[in-house]
Chains A and B, each alone.
Chain A
Amino acid sequence: NAGVTQTPKFRILKIGQSMTLQCTQDMNHNYMYWYRQDPGMGLKLIYYSVGAGITDKGEVPNGYNVSRSTTEDFPLRLELAAPSQTSVYFCASRYPQGQGSTEAFFGQGTRLTVV
């Protein structure tokens, strides 16, 4: 059982470059999330999606974009990388409340450094 898979695990970007962080889940979860985690700052919600074709901003969406064309995939796009986007990025997924366990499953994270 793969669960939530994030790629890449590590990446170094130069300022102004762009990249896509990939996230895929095989649990048929409707809800998917992107968080960033900075040291001592907990998890900050960037974007989330309640189903294919539906996305919404979280607490810190600026500088990021997402799409949700399928239930399985929820890529996060950085268009013009900035040093402030150096962080660990986590993707998560779960069922909506009332449909089985509401536990959110997390990927192993992507460590991004912008230099």
Chain B
Amino acid sequence: QKEVEQDPGPLSVPEGAIVSLNCTYSNSAFQYFMWYRQYSRKGPELLMYTYSSGNKEDGRFTAQVDKSSKYISLFIRDSQPSDSATYLCANALLGGSQGNLIFGKGTKLSVKP
């Protein structure tokens, strides 16, 4: 079983819609959860990160982690055409030599004007 599972989409929504992107993970030792955004032909860039269960909000973006069900979500409110990109969830362990950083497959999002 792959450690981080993510529906690759593609997902197409109209401008202004609320977008929900989801990941599940299998390794309960993961303690650090991230969302990266990748525009076409570019490297990924960090969008949000969190260490704990619960919600973290940043402008139109909310990251949600439920460690009990090993479920990670990213919500985008009032989506804009500029949000069109691939969104990758990523998990990492904390401490010591645990440098491994695991990504999901990414979900390709298209926001139509």
- List residues of chain A with CB under 8 Å of any chain B CB: 4, 30-31, 33, 35, 40-43, 45, 48-50, 54, 56, 58, 90, 92, 94, 96-98, 102-104, 106-109
Contacts of A109 in B (CB 8 A): 41-43
Contacts of B44 in A (CB 8 A): 43, 90, 106
**Contact status A31-B46, CB under 8 Å:** no
Q: Total interface residues on B, using CB and 8 Å?
A: 25
> How many inter-chain contacts with C-beta < 8 Å in the A-B complex?
65
Identify which of B41, B88, B97 contacts A42 (C-beta below 8 A). Answer: B88
**Contact status A107-B32, CB under 8 Å:** no
- List residues of chain B with CB under 8 Å of any chain A CB: 6, 8, 32, 34, 41-46, 49, 88, 90, 92, 94-95, 97, 99-106
A56 to B100, CA, bound (A): 9
Contacts of A98 in B (CB 8 A): 94-95
**Contact status B49-A103, CB under 8 Å:** yes
Q: Which 10 A-B pairs have the closest CB atoms?
A: A106-B43, A42-B105, A43-B103, A50-B99, A103-B46, A97-B94, A31-B99, A42-B106, A50-B97, A106-B44
